[in-house]
Structure 1
Amino acid sequence: MSGEAAVVARDSVPIGRLIRSVRHERGLTQYQLADELVLASGNESLGRGEVSRWERGKRVPGPYWQRHLSRVLELPPDELRAAARTAKQLRWRQ
């Protein structure tokens, strides 16, 4: 599967599921991802609890954290934005 096809396949996935999937692919725990995001951003306000809320769909990371997630998880920013839109649409339907 080409990289372009992989983006299309994950395009309709909510951001929480995308974060969890890529975190697992990279062999990271929620604690480790939170630590990586703190290092990348210089913002110590993030912890494992927030990563958990993102992954469970309780919260959607905003543009600030999406930028750092893109770098840490090596995901295209457009893919994260699309996944965030999907998550918000699913929340509105409930």
Structure 2
Amino acid sequence: MSGETVAARDAVPIGRLIRSARQRRGLTQYQLADELVLVSGNESLGRGEVSRWERGKRVPGPYWQQHLSRVLGVPPDELRAAARATKEWRQHQ
């Protein structure tokens, strides 16, 4: 194990993690996308991509994970573990 605090096998799917953290913060998908654009300076993100992440259609890469961590207050290790868990789950489908 790489010493991370959250093991992939114990992690929730990243879509569920993003959705619950967003809702705890009282943000809509549009507002989350706007916040991510603001902190990243990357205007290529919209609500549609947030929706795809939350539905498990896509897994945000490390670039967006770092910004999600900052905006949603989710530890980076937790996001990485959730991303790994989601990818592992997809491989077994």
Identity of aligned residues (%): 83
CA distance in 2, matches of 1:93, 1:53: 20
Match of 2:22 in 1: 23
CA distance in 2, matches of 1:46, 1:12: 25
**Residue 35 of structure 2 is aligned to residue 36 of structure 1:** yes
For normalisation by structure 2, the TM-score amounts to 0.89
For normalisation by structure 1, the TM-score amounts to 0.88
**Structure 2: gaps of 5 or more residues:** 1-5
CA RMSD of aligned residues (A): 1.2
CA distance in 2, matches of 1:51, 1:24: 13
Match of 1:79 in 2: 78
Instruction: Give the 3-state SS of the residue equivalent to 1:40 in structure 2.
Output: helix
The structure with the largest helix share of the pair is 1
CA distance in 1, matches of 2:92, 2:57: 14
Number of aligned residue pairs: 86
**Structure 1: gaps of 5 or more residues:** 1-6
